[in-house]
Structure 1
């Protein structure tokens, strides 16, 4: 059955790895990497900071609109799109409203801060600059609505996380309307 997935969480939560592994499990799928749209900006990019400048928020919302549009186009073409991006706070419900295709499944990867710090140290790319893990984790847990499926993936492998997402897909589905 076709559906749209949104895999979100803080940086180094495992979004890219889990989204790719999930896409590889499905017969017709597309991995929509939200961060790729941010990297398309050559000059004038504004990164999100803890201060939350207006221009950075405008660009983040642009990135989310593009990702949601790409998801809808892939879905209309017969694919199951898996969108992966940092979508926190009020932006989570806003993003869910941008995706027109249904069913939409929202999965929040929420490993504990210690696991995120360990993953950040162990990976080749660096996500944290203006933010600390504790700050972004606080934003996730304090400001992000507890909608759909939240998973503590601190002790899970990506394969185990994918299995849990597939087993609990009904809990991730955003109600229509």
Structure 2
């Protein structure tokens, strides 16, 4: 049986990492692939990521997503269930799904309310939002620019286990 491949996306603080890790733990022989790891590998010259990307930031984001889908493909070919998680909005999600289309990725979009994003961001050690980058910017971009691929979940009032159950129940 072919192992599943999941693409999990959403705005910052949507719960992508938490849900992806919990999902991967429920699958035999699995990988939680964090797309952001490829950005973190850059020692010098990392471009600023934010609501508006300059050319260099866009190129680095494209590279990060290409590397992540290549890694997902390699892990999958080695027999691992892959849970690839990153902020993939609009055409970025479409491109990732298309690059992995032959592996039938199951797309999951976590779309909690803006209030939930703000509360979760305040509660974590690493904050991504601020005065010039409030959570509604990414939440609205996700809603406005992203085609309705896969399973969209408003996880605002759901536990991690409930979200994972919904994902596994949808497959």
Q: Bin the TM-score by the shorter chain.
A: over 0.9
Q: Name 2:34's counterpart in structure 1.
A: 33
**2:93 counterpart residue number:** 92
* Whole-Å separation in 1 of the counterparts to 2:71 and 2:123: 31
Residues of 2 paired with 1:50 and 1:116: CA distance?
Answer: 16
State the alpha-carbon separation in 2 of the partners of residues 124 and 50 from structure 1: 21
Identify unmatched segments of 5+ residues in structure 1. Answer: 170-177
Q: Which residue of 2 aligns with 1:131?
A: 133
Q: Does 1:60 align with 2:54?
A: no
Instruction: Give the Å deviation of 1:161.
Output: 0.3
Counterpart for residue 149 of structure 2: 147
Deviation at 1:100, TM superposition (A): 5.4
Matched, 1:168 2:170: yes
2:25 maps to 24
Name the stretch that deviates more: 51-60 or 151-160: 51-60
CA distance in 2: counterparts of 1:21 and 1:53, whole angstroms: 34
Question: In the alignment, which residue of structure 2 is the partner of 1:79?
Answer: 80
Contact 1:23 1:31 in 2 (8 A): yes
1:6–1:83: 8 Å Cα contact kept in structure 2?
Answer: yes
- Alpha-carbon separation, structure 2, partners of 1:103 and 1:143: 22
Q: How far 1:101 sits from its partner (Å)?
A: 4.8
1:100 and 1:153 mapped to 2: Cα distance? 26
Deviations 1:154-174, CA, capped at 9 Å, x for gaps: 0011111000000012xxxxx
Count of paired positions: 169
Runs of 4+ off more than 3 Å: none
More displaced stretch, 26-35 vs 98-107: 98-107
Structure 1 residue 50: Cα displacement: 2.2
Stretches of structure 2 that go unaligned for 5 or more consecutive residues are: none
2:118 is matched with 117
